[in-house]
Amino acid sequence: MTSPPSQHPGGWIEQALAEHEEHEGRAAPEPGQVSDREQQVLDRIDRARRRRPKVREERITMSHGAGGKATHTLIEAVFLDSFRNPLLEPLEDAATLDLTLAAGPARVALTTDSYVVSPLFFPGGDIGELAVNGTVNDLAVSGATPRYLSAGFILEEGFGVADLTRIAESMRDAAAAAGVQIVTGDTKVVQRGKADGCYINTAGVGVFERELPAGGLGVASARPGDAIIVSGPVGDHGITIMLARGELDIEADLQSDTAPLNGLVAGLLDRVDGVRALRDATRGGVATILNEIAKSADVGVLVSEDDIPVRAEVRGAAELLGIDPMYVACEGRLVAVVDGGQADEALAALRAHPLGVQSAVIGHVTEGPPGLVHLKTAYGGTRIVELLVGDPLPRIC
């Protein structure tokens, strides 16, 4: 296994400061040291990140649903502040519940999700399959085995019964493929023009059947030296949805990557005991997950642009749209944080599954700067990867 990159991603800053100081005729800081000005910038960034979240807008905007900075602020400032409790505070994809039953203690995972994708039918899937797979994946990345789902439908007056039947049959097939059952549900109908055909809400329950690290899987467990792995090419789903809307004069041979990840996760956890965290890269893409790792674990993250798998069609369409593929949603990809010494074993486990054949190590967790994600670009430079701002890809799930 190759050794991880430098644990101090600020080398490019030192080089730039050295050149500036040389030009100004002053001594540059020694290698490995941080100049006063650089430290001031890092301290300012750190203070801003630790400031109590506050929603500054008076009304909800589309960016509040994009999975980026506005979404995180809304969740923390409104929902977490109102509902705060130890089960919710980790803000993982599913809550872990310890139950006391007559037969003995049991540990289960509980998640919920809503789907408003437009269009309802797209290359590679539809809203029904997406709803099942997305809920299954939220349970799977918590380390649980998905078992049961609920399905709630909000239907618009005038929506075609044939389309609704097609969606229900797609959910049936997706549930069978994932090994789960849809066991309860609800239906509501709103007046014409008050919805967009069909919205779906789900909940999912899974059970923990294998030993996990103390405290379970979670991005707060990431440690310096850990490897960061993505299970395949990123951005397929988001770009597919954008092109399926027909609003852009762009053609590409793409389809959504929507798929149930429980089999892939089970294979990884059965072979590798050094898995610290798993996340499925939906809204906000891989970039959002990397920022969540850095913030929750108070560590740095350094990834390489050249190591992030992106299909040529996705990259080309993203460039035309002015979008970074790192921010584009996936619906069948996960990001894993694994003990650096077990990265090769984790890759082998993921690549042994059809959904993980193109898995790749894209970077490592570093000691700092805490809370920041650095990307080594294809041109040799380094830049900070922030949370997504705005909503370049609305309603992709």
Q: Is residue 57 part of a domain?
A: no
Give the per-residue pLDDT at 19.
Answer: 54
Give the per-residue pLDDT at 386.
Answer: 92
| Whether residues 283 and 199 fall in one domain | no
Give the per-residue pLDDT at 49.
Answer: 56
CB atoms within 10 A of CB 110: 17
Give the per-residue pLDDT at 392.
Answer: 73
Interatomic CA distance for residues 215 and 221, integer angstroms = 9
Q: Is residue 84 part of a domain?
A: no
pLDDT digit string (tens) for 302-336?
A: 999 999 999 999 999 999 888 899 999 999 999 99
Domain range for 329 is: 219-384
Tell me the pTM.
0.85
| Whether residues 45 and 116 fall in one domain | no
Give the per-residue pLDDT at 8.
Answer: 46
Give the per-residue pLDDT at 7.
Answer: 43
Q: What domain count does the chain have?
A: 3
Q: Which two tokens stand for residue 50?
A: 């630790």
Burial, 43: exposed, middle or buried (Cβ in 10 Å; 0-12, 13-18, 19+)? exposed
The strand pairing partners of 204, in sequence order, are: 111, 149
Give the per-residue pLDDT at 105.
Answer: 84
The strand pairing partners of 152, in sequence order, are: 186, 201
Give the per-residue pLDDT at 252.
Answer: 82
Using 50 as the pLDDT threshold, list the residues of the chain that sit under it: 1-10, 12, 17, 20, 24, 26-29, 31-32
DSSP code of 324?
-
Q: Which two tokens stand for residue 119?
A: 């269009």
CA 137 to chain centre: 11
CATH number assigned to the domain comprising residue 227: 3.90.650.10
| Whether residues 224 and 201 fall in one domain | no
Give the per-residue pLDDT at 157.
Answer: 98
Length of the chain counted residue by residue:
397
| Whether residues 296 and 225 fall in one domain | yes
Give the per-residue pLDDT at 35.
Answer: 58
Q: Is residue 58 part of a domain?
A: no
Interatomic CA distance for residues 375 and 384, integer angstroms = 6
Q: Is residue 2 part of a domain?
A: no
Pairing between strand 373-376 and 300-304?
parallel
| Whether residues 237 and 313 fall in one domain | yes
Give the per-residue pLDDT at 247.
Answer: 77
Give the per-residue pLDDT at 2.
Answer: 45
| Whether residues 161 and 226 fall in one domain | no
Assess contact for 20 and 29: CB atoms under 8 A: no
| Whether residues 197 and 223 fall in one domain | no
Give the per-residue pLDDT at 102.
Answer: 81
pLDDT digit string (tens) for 32-87?
A: 455 566 556 555 555 555 667 788 899 999 899 888 888 889 999 999 999 999 99
Q: Is residue 379 part of a domain?
A: yes
